Amino acid sequence: MIVVVMGVSGSGKTTVSALLAARLGWRYREGDDLHPSENVEKMRGGTPLTDADRLPWLRKIAREIDAWQRRGEQGVLTCSALKRAYRDIIVGDRAGVALVYLKGSYDLIARRMAARHEHFMPTALLESQFAALQEPTSDESPIVMDVGRPPGEIADAIARELEFRSDAGGAASRLRHGPEVP
């Protein structure tokens, strides 16, 4: 299984995903690290990315997911995935990929962004993130988490939901302990 944790900048994707991956013993990948340097510089300069800017990044994330699946690896990957079209590229019809949406109010997330340091995404771009956000719909089967809770609680709740959604017995055991060895 691969888990894509999505949400606007400042929603806690990095923190929650790292905790979730550690709890499950899975690989972890920060999707922002896959951005081309031009994208990072645009955002650092306060310029929102266009769909054309994001496309190579989204394709790179999709290739990362495909590589993990080919190798039989389980992992947690972050990606803002603000629009349905973006999620169609990175999640699409891939079996074994779960979508987690970290949802929070503009005010809460703006306060968090104002408090963090040394991140390339300025608070001024949060408005454009919320304007672009298309919340996942039920046909995407998202796990929706309120970001008003502590990150550890959110990661634990996601892990429980993943276990609940997995096949009975063996799959739930694999979530906790990794694949069975014959």
- What architecture is domain 2-177? 3-Layer(aba) Sandwich (3.40)
Q: What is the dihedral of CA 117, 121, 124, 127, to 10 degrees?
A: -130
Phi, psi for residue 120 in degrees, rounded to 5: -70, -20
Per-residue pLDDT tens digits for 51-75: 999 999 999 999 999 999 999 999 9
Query: Does residue 24 or residue 129 have the better pLDDT?
Result: 24
Per-residue pLDDT tens digits for 82-110: 999 999 999 999 999 999 999 999 999 98
Task: Tell which residue, 53, 100, 105, 63, has the closest CA to residue 80.
Answer: 100
Q: What is the pTM of this model?
A: 0.84
